[in-house]
Amino acid sequence: MSEVVLSVRNLVMRFGGLVAVDQVAFDVKKNEIFSIIGPNGAGKTTVFNCVSGFYSPSEGQISLFGENITGKPSHVVANHGLVRTFQNVRLFKNLTALENLLVAQHNHLSAGFIAGLLNLPSYKRSEKAALENAVKWLDFMGLRDMANREAGNLAYGHQRRLEIARCMITKPKLLLLDEPAAGLNPQEKKDLARMIDQLRHEFDISVLLIEHDMSLIMDISDRIMVMEMGKPLVTGLPEEVRNDPQVIKAYLGE
Ligand SMILES: Nc1ncnc2c1ncn2[C@@H]1O[C@H](COP(=O)(O)OP(=O)(O)OP(=O)(O)O)[C@@H](O)[C@H]1O
């Protein structure tokens, strides 16, 4: 049996009287691309926010590599190897593309604060490694020519790529992507799908994805969970989900 990376059980999230997520359960396995789809307001982003430590769930258990991370804050969850992007790109818009990738490595620099203050050789070495790493990721994402441009001035598709690079540079084991194809044109969507697939193979990561673009979802997902009104409706392979009468009804009506 393949290793379970993320396990979510009996997840419930209430906002006052509203039950946004109701008894959601799923596993993400090693190297898997697992997608969550569903109509607007189905609870997908709320699941993401619970899993990534932005919300503390009302009920349920979330574990990452067997370790209980339920209700742990996002920086702790990130230290366990889970990072995420957001529906609206959240970059440091006034910093350059390169600077965004340097800042992202701040917590991972091997030399400490004192070494930095005294500008010791160990700090210089780790700064050089961070710079090389940032350039490697700019290359991987096809952003090398834009290294010195302010992130806020990049085309939207490039900002999305930079945001994924900023996650990947922290060497995650599980990458959460919240609507990464939103606002992209058809060619950019195709490129994105190829890139996500390449990332999981080359860097041996698992991916948890929320997306509205059905062709992208059907193209790259290993398994899909469909949510409706906070509840999990169906979980299965893309072809199972595509042909499921409940799913067709949820999307198209009776
Ligand atoms: N912080 C919050 N406070 C109150 N209600 C919230 C909050 N976050 C989400 N909700 C509500 O929870 C429900 C699920 O929202 P959620 O954003 O998780 O859905 P979604 O499936 O991600 O939708 P979309 O596809 O439009 O992004 C909605 O009714 C939403 O209004």
CB 35 less than 6 A from any atom of ligand 1: no
CA of 19 to the centre of ligand 1 (A): 10
63 versus 212: the higher-pLDDT residue is 63
Per DSSP, the residues of 169-231 read: TT--SEEEEESTTTT--HHHHHHHHHHHHHHHHHS--EEEEE-S-HHHHHHH-SEEEEEETTE
Task: Mean pLDDT check: name the lowest of 103-117, 129-143, 173-187.
Answer: 103-117
Of the chain, the percentage scoring pLDDT greater than 70 comes to: 91
Which residue, by CA, sits nearest to atom 8 of ligand 1? 46
Of 207, 203, 127, 123, give the one whose Cα is nearest residue 169: 203
43 Cα nearest atom in ligand 1 = 18
What is the reported pTM? 0.90
What is the torsion angle, in degrees rounded to the nearest 10, for the CA atoms of residue 181, residue 251, residue 229 and residue 62?
-50
Per-residue pLDDT tens over the stretch 16-38: 999 999 999 999 999 999 999 99
Which residue, by CA, sits nearest to atom 3 of ligand 1? 15
Amino acid identity for residue 25 in this structure: A
**pLDDT, average across residues 207-233:** 94
CB 38 less than 6 A from any atom of ligand 1: yes
CA of 48 to the centre of ligand 1 (A): 11
Of 136, 138, 183, give the one whose Cα is nearest residue 162: 138
**pLDDT, average across residues 86-114:** 78
Phi/psi-derived region of residue 23, left when phi > 0, alpha when psi is between -120 and 50, beta in every other case: left
pLDDT at 35: 97
CA of 183 to the centre of ligand 1 (A): 20
CB 148 less than 6 A from any atom of ligand 1: no
Taking a C-beta distance cutoff of 8 angstroms, is the pair 43, 28 a contact? Answer: no
Using pLDDT thresholds of 50, 70 and 90, give the confidence band for residue 105. confident
Per-residue pLDDT for 207 more than 90?
yes
Q: How far is CA 80 from CA 70, 172, 243, in A?
A: 12, 8, 37
Of the chain, the percentage scoring pLDDT greater than 90 comes to: 74
Give 1-81+174-253's CATH code, choosing from 3.10.580.10, 3.40.309.10, 3.30.565.10, 3.40.50.300.
3.40.50.300
Strand partners, 206: 174
At a CB cut-off of 8 Å and minimum separation 6, what does 46 contact?
13, 20, 21, 55, 230
Per-residue pLDDT for 166 more than 90?
yes
**pLDDT, average across residues 93-114:** 78
Instruction: Please state, as a whole number, how many other Cβ atoms lie within 10 Å of the Cβ of residue 238.
Output: 17
pLDDT at 123: 64
CB 152 less than 6 A from any atom of ligand 1: no
**pLDDT, average across residues 93-103:** 92
Per-residue pLDDT for 111 more than 70?
no
CA of 230 to the centre of ligand 1 (A): 9
CB 225 less than 6 A from any atom of ligand 1: no
Place of tokens 């929320």: 210
CB 41 less than 6 A from any atom of ligand 1: yes
Delimit the CATH 3.40.50.300 region(s) of the chain. Answer: 1-81+174-253
Which residue, by CA, sits nearest to atom 6 of ligand 1? 15
